[in-house]
Structure 1
């Protein structure tokens, strides 16, 4: 007889289970809420798209496309890829549904869900990662850049996160990037780089500045920086973004060596960093991508957005010892003693749930001792204890699980009493 094998989640794919999952949900919902407060509407995207969308949109020279995509062929041989990021898919949807032709620009959307990267899993670096993202498409306005950044900052701060910083730079525009590209390539071609890095320098030299290997970082320490070669228009745009952030009181650090991992970024580029996470310190980031829509077959409209890591934000909160969410499965726990009492309490629980109170019951015919232990484990604030004798007298026991005291109240009045007590 063969031993039954036990299944586990795929390597690098985290599970979130109760009660800890409440922390994950709280982080995701707060980051979404920060965007909806600024007028961003929800968009739901496919988890997989045509591979060409990401190759064109993200950039074939990026590690994301060249090394990290989960790509497969369907039964007809067409190539699809599990989405590695959200912006390209949003742009495809905006073009496909004609949102870019709306008179009401910018198009402002928020999305959340899983994204996929085939890479070596480690703390904070997963093969299935969870993100909240926003995109604001159709208007090139420094105030919009600052709004997007401020939404992320507000989401983190509302969650209670404190020990993070915003790093920001400008990657220039079409009037200055070609000249800078030539200048950077000339510098890089004079270095003793390995063949793979030389190939990368010929395709997208900015990617070499993003190389994490110490020997490459040392070689490129004196490389010319984009921020020192901005056109007047790009420089003015960047200064205005910083001015709006100053007006909002959003702190930042200008990091002229920042290079994001995707090819489509132009002008404003930013990252939120938390040093409590070690090597994987980024908790979110984004930037402007003025040529992406045209590259994907749409109108030449500008856009800006971000992707915030839900998993990494959870880890950052834990690193600071700051709880998020309510691990309690319910607010009220019902303990029935007898068959008639069980049916009555079952109906009462449904009525309380309809009024917005979270209620659970002791199932399986537990005795009073076992049921009260279950009530304590649930995290509920109150227990409702109902026996057949109480039912005959139209009363119910209301126990404050924190204080430990219990009193009898009218069955007709218990819903109002609980609502008032829970509102305190």
Structure 2
């Protein structure tokens, strides 16, 4: 349980610390304050993961579901920083907007969850595939190095380290059994980090400079402030986040063979939104599901939510102990990239498995998948495609998972729900031997349809 939980932390660590590092740098925080903000994000991610996996009352999907800082909020938070005259007020304004968005999202969760009826296999398979495809560029970016502006970005050294890590994980998965096979990703990360030391890629300075104990003091950066424009922008992000979380819960439900129904999704969304509303209390940002950990569940087949809750415990401890948090940060980005190829590719493969059950022999379903995948891949292949749209619209459009999900749902409604325009796809229930066409047989056929 401990090693598998730590493996989940290793898979999602970079995604948790990236948003606070980006926003903190934009605000102009010192190194010490930046470390504090990062630790706070780890701490609140752990609390949100507890809410999601263990649950309280009707809060929490009780699935092996990791929660952390959503990257969808980075762009609007940077916009809030840019439009805030006094940079010292930027974080309190952001925190105030997140609190309001979280509370509104919590109230809307049961209504939002009713959309699950519009997520048959043709939709869920498309969305799961898009989640994996959308995450793969992140792994490729990690493989190229830590700094896109550096001269050695994408060097053969970085790519070789990523390739070695990938090969180690694949060999462990192919030629080992039992425990070692289950923690192949964690072992690959450790070996990749050790191999990177002679190349000067591994940086141990964060461990040397970190404090042993540190608590995220409530409202460390000031009491939350409530600005209408900031609140509106974060509410839009919350809707995007809830859409992605719904898709992630459906994906995870398929993987662990416990399909997420309306009740599960409502509970999961309550955990997401409540975690987001409470996060600013401890100087954290909006929380959402982490799709990369779905790939880890798919690959290892370890389905216990208590394993993921153990990972949440590690996150809380790292938030309380900066020196512990810094140990994970030692893992070089290229090494994370090599492991990420396996993790994120596993998510896409799970989506393809779901699509196999979706009835792709029907032309309507083929069209739904084709167009939805194309719409979802636009932000990946052409990041500036929507540059002429308003900034608020770009928050939604730049998320391939969200746009692809919306497209799949709408197309499924048009082709498979509206009217009776599906005569070419009609399914008739076979008659039993000797059975005559009757009202009963007709009812059976209608039910099958």
Bin the TM-score by the shorter chain. under 0.3
Q: Which has the higher helix share?
A: 2
Q: Which has the higher strand share?
A: 1
Larger radius of gyration: 1
Normalised TM-score (structure 1): 0.24
Normalised TM-score (structure 2): 0.23
Between 1 and 2, higher relative CO (CA 8 Å, sep ≥ 6) is seen in: 2
